Amino acid sequence: MKKIIKKQSSNGNLEEEVFPEITSVKISGSVIERFFEEVSSLTIFALRFFKEIVKPPFEFNEMLKQSFQIGYRSLPLVGITGFIIGLVLTIQSRPTLAKFGAESWLPAMVAVSIIREIIPVITALIFAGKVGSGIGAELASMNVTEQIDAMKVSCTNPFKYLVVTRVLSATLMLPLLVVFADIIGLLGAFVGVNLKGSVSSYLFFSQIFQSLEFIDIFPAFIKTFFFGFAIGIIGSYKGYNSYKGTEGVGKAANSSVVFGSLMVFIIDMIAVQITSFFQN
């Protein structure tokens, strides 16, 4: 269907402009174009982050403030989630192991699952939901209310002050939160093991450390830096480049969570491939 728009020409006459038919192929083409445009903008944004991070002045106080908000304030949420995951995973795994008469393997199995995969990914998703959306919404509302423009005018580098501090805090705080969530998750598993049995805390943690190896801990820990960076940079990018208007704030918060979570899974998949390459 052709679209006809009437507009006034420079001499005052009404002219009809005919737009070509919009086909589904063209729509998808535009989506792909937009996707690649977004990827390139995000890459440039991330490169700018690395450029700005090494350039003084360093906004150390702002980074501490953001670390407090992003890290410390997320601890209760992450802790509760970790505890529940440990507890539920233990309760759910017990019947299957009991079928093989291998209930004594429960602590080892739960510990490896929790530390290698479940806690890092779930914590990152929770982090994307809480922190990613927070960064996106905060920066978008600053953009909408022209605070970012005001900072530019007052010779303050808004990228350095707002983006670098937040991304850096997210990158550094997520691994710490994962460490806490791991410990709380293992405590949850200990409670789960003792709901239908009796295992002393010494034996429980001894079995866990017997089953764990560095290959279980380090890749899981290292990938959380990438999770944190991805969530921070996507949240900042979406907020910093949001549309003007209240709708833009909502969109920025929403897309920060969606793309942040998606990136967590993509990074996780790549990390698993790299880990298994080294393991074999």
- Residues near other proteins (CB under 8 A): 64-65, 67-68, 71-72, 75, 100, 102, 175-177, 179-180, 182-183, 209-210, 212-214, 217, 221
The residue (of 232 and 248) whose beta carbon lies closer to other proteins is 232
State the DSSP H helix or E strand holding residue 112, giving kind and residue range, or none if neither.
helix 106-113
Rounded Cα–Cα distance for residues 76 and 83 (Å): 10
Least distance between other proteins and beta carbon 183 (Å): 6
Omega cis (within 30) before 76: no
The residue (of 50 and 218) whose beta carbon lies closer to other proteins is 218
Least distance between other proteins and beta carbon 262 (Å): 27
Rounded Cα–Cα distance for residues 51 and 203 (Å): 50
Least distance between other proteins and beta carbon 88 (Å): 22
Least distance between other proteins and beta carbon 72 (Å): 5
The residue (of 38 and 62) whose beta carbon lies closer to other proteins is 62
Sign of CA dihedral 138, 144, 146, 151: positive
The residue (of 75 and 84) whose beta carbon lies closer to other proteins is 75
Rounded Cα–Cα distance for residues 31 and 120 (Å): 32
- Chain centroid to Cα 203, Å, comes to 35
The residue (of 214 and 277) whose beta carbon lies closer to other proteins is 214
| Residue 213 DSSP label | -
Least distance between other proteins and beta carbon 233 (Å): 22
Strands (E) in 185-228, as ranges, are none
| Residue 245 DSSP label | S
The residue (of 178 and 249) whose beta carbon lies closer to other proteins is 178
Least distance between other proteins and beta carbon 70 (Å): 10
The residue (of 67 and 143) whose beta carbon lies closer to other proteins is 67
State the DSSP H helix or E strand holding residue 74, giving kind and residue range, or none if neither.
none
Least distance between other proteins and beta carbon 54 (Å): 22
Q: Centre a 10 Å sphere on the Cβ of residue 96 and count the other Cβ atoms it contains.
A: 11
Q: Which residues contact 248 (CB under 8 A, 6 or more apart)?
A: 140, 143, 144, 242
255 CB-side CA count, 13 A: 18
